[in-house]
């Protein structure tokens, strides 16, 4: 079948996946990059994991202050600390907020990053950075923030609670589904996205059924990587525009917000590109995409309502007005203020838009 013309950019990055291998691979990567003064970024909750994987490495500074959505003032403090300790490598152990802080440092310092993820956020495989100032979240793309190496080790995710594992996995699904119609969507990133959907849909129920098992967590890490690579190429679609506003303006939790909003954007957009909607449904193990996603949400107990994570019904109008100017022109269906308000109200109460 003929393929539409497209331009696809592939990002260069070393990716390693081995259960139990993080410490050994991190040591080898530090040696390969010739680093002598590491800034190790890991929140207090991740300190035992950071100790485990970075033992014996030349750590010049431990940084433990990590906040979701990367406040600009925090980024500036971390940049100053990196300069003072003359860091020549940033090593992150943690989720998307941890990786995001390292990206903020790398954006101005050009110091390389090695990311050791402990969630399924996917930030580690993109060149996208984000900073929040006041109630506004800014994002951008720059090659300097793409980690030089990503080391996936599913044993590091065993302490991630099942509920957060599910929300984080749905964040990965959101990367995949948004990539099916984002501004830079093309046949290559859609193929990666569909495989990411399939793998995450298979892995998440295994994590729920056996939280101490490695197979499901390996699948989720692999799926998270695929989701991020597809998103890095396709760019930010309607779903991510909505969630960036909700997170940055109302301080909502990142993964849970993505999990809650996703089915409503899927229900809105899939009818506009029915062939892609069918492929999403098939990757989820069904045919009709929204029904297939609902079955997965029910099976794993995914978050369902924005009112449960701190979003106020009174803010729906304000949020819709903030989102409308950033809606991609290429979105497969027309989006207006009433459409956004209906979608947000459905997401607020956990119903269908």
Percent of the chain whose pLDDT exceeds 90:
91
pLDDT at 134: 84
- Angle formed at CA 230 by CA 281 and CA 144, multiple of 5 degrees: 160
Structural domain includes residue 2: no
Which residue bears the tokens 């989701």? Answer: 227
Structural domain includes residue 338: yes
User: How sure is the predictor about 3, in pLDDT bands with cuts at 50, 70 and 90?
Assistant: low
Specify burial of residue 94 (Cβ count, 10 A radius: 0-12, 13-18, 19+). Answer: buried
Residue 127, domain CATH: 3.40.50.1970
Query: Is a pLDDT exceeding 60 seen at residue 141?
Result: yes
193/58 same-domain check:
no
| 179-188 per-position pLDDT tens digit | 999 999 999 9
Query: Is a pLDDT exceeding 70 seen at residue 304?
Result: yes
Residue 306, domain CATH: 1.20.1090.10
Look at residue 323 and give its three-state secondary structure: helix
Query: Is a pLDDT exceeding 90 seen at residue 197?
Result: yes
**Domain boundary residue, one of 93, 122, 157:** 157
| 242-252 per-position pLDDT tens digit | 999 999 899 99
Beta carbons within 8 Å of 298's beta carbon, 6+ residues apart: none
196/64 same-domain check:
no
Percent of the chain whose pLDDT exceeds 70:
99
198/285 same-domain check:
yes
| 39-78 per-position pLDDT tens digit | 999 999 999 999 999 999 999 999 999 998 899 999 999 9
pLDDT at 1: 44
pLDDT at 10: 83
Mean pLDDT of 215-244: 95
Residue 71: domain span: 14-157
Look at residue 112 and give its three-state secondary structure: coil
pLDDT at 352: 53
Phi, psi of 161 (to 5 degrees): -55, 150
Structural domain includes residue 7: no
Structural domain includes residue 32: yes
Residue whose C-alpha is closest to residue 174's, from 264, 64, 282: 264
Looking at the 3D structure of the chain, how many domains does it have? 2
| 143-173 per-position pLDDT tens digit | 999 999 999 999 999 999 999 999 999 999 9
Mean pLDDT of 308-320: 97
51 vs 47: CA distance, rounded Å? 6
pLDDT at 135: 80
Query: Is a pLDDT exceeding 90 seen at residue 11?
Result: no
Mean pLDDT of 266-291: 97
Structural domain includes residue 151: yes
252/125 same-domain check:
no
Query: Is a pLDDT exceeding 80 seen at residue 299?
Result: yes
Structural domain includes residue 5: no
176 vs 281: CA distance, rounded Å? 12
């Amino acid at each position: 079948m003929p393929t539409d013309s497209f331009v696809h950019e592939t990002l260069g990055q070393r990716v390693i996946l081995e259960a139990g291998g993080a410490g050994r691979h991190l040591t080898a990567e530090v040696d390969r990059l010739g680093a002598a003064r590491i800034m190790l970024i890991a929140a207090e909750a991740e300190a035992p994991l950071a100790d485990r994987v970075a033992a014996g490495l030349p750590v010049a500074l431990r940084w433990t202050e990590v906040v979701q959505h990367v406040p600009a003032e925090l980024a500036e403090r971390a940049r100053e600390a990196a300069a003072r300790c003359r860091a020549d490598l940033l090593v992150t152990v943690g989720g998307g907020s941890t990786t995001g802080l390292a990206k903020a440092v790398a954006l101005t310092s050009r110091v390389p990053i090695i990311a050791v993820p402990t969630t399924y956020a996917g930030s580690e495989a993109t060149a996208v950075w984000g900073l929040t100032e006041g109630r506004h979240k800014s994002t951008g793309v720059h090659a300097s923030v793409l980690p030089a190496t990503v080391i996936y080790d599913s044993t590091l995710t065993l302490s991630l609670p099942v509920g957060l594992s599910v929300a984080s996995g749905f964040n990965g699904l959101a990367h995949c589904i948004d990539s099916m119609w984002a501004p830079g969507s093309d046949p290559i990133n859609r193929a990666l996205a569909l495989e990411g959907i399939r793998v995450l849909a298979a892995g998440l129920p295994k994590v729920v059924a056996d939280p101490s098992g490695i197979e499901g967590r390996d699948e989720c890490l692999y799926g998270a990587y695929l989701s991020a690579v597809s998103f890095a190429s396709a760019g930010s679609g309607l779903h991510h525009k909505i969630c960036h506003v909700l997170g940055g303006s109302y301080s909502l939790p990142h993964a849970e917000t993505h999990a809650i909003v996703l089915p409503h954007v899927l229900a809105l957009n899939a009818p506009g590109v029915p062939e892609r909607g069918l492929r999403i449904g098939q990757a989820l193990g069904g045919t009709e995409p929204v029904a297939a996603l609902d079955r997965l949400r029910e099976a794993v107990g995914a978050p369902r309502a924005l009112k449960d994570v701190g979003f106020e019904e009174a803010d729906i109008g304000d949020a819709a007005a903030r989102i409308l100017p950033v809606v991609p022109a290429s979105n497969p269906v027309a989006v207006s203020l009433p459409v956004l308000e209906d979608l947000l109200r459905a997401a607020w109460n956990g119903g269908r838009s």
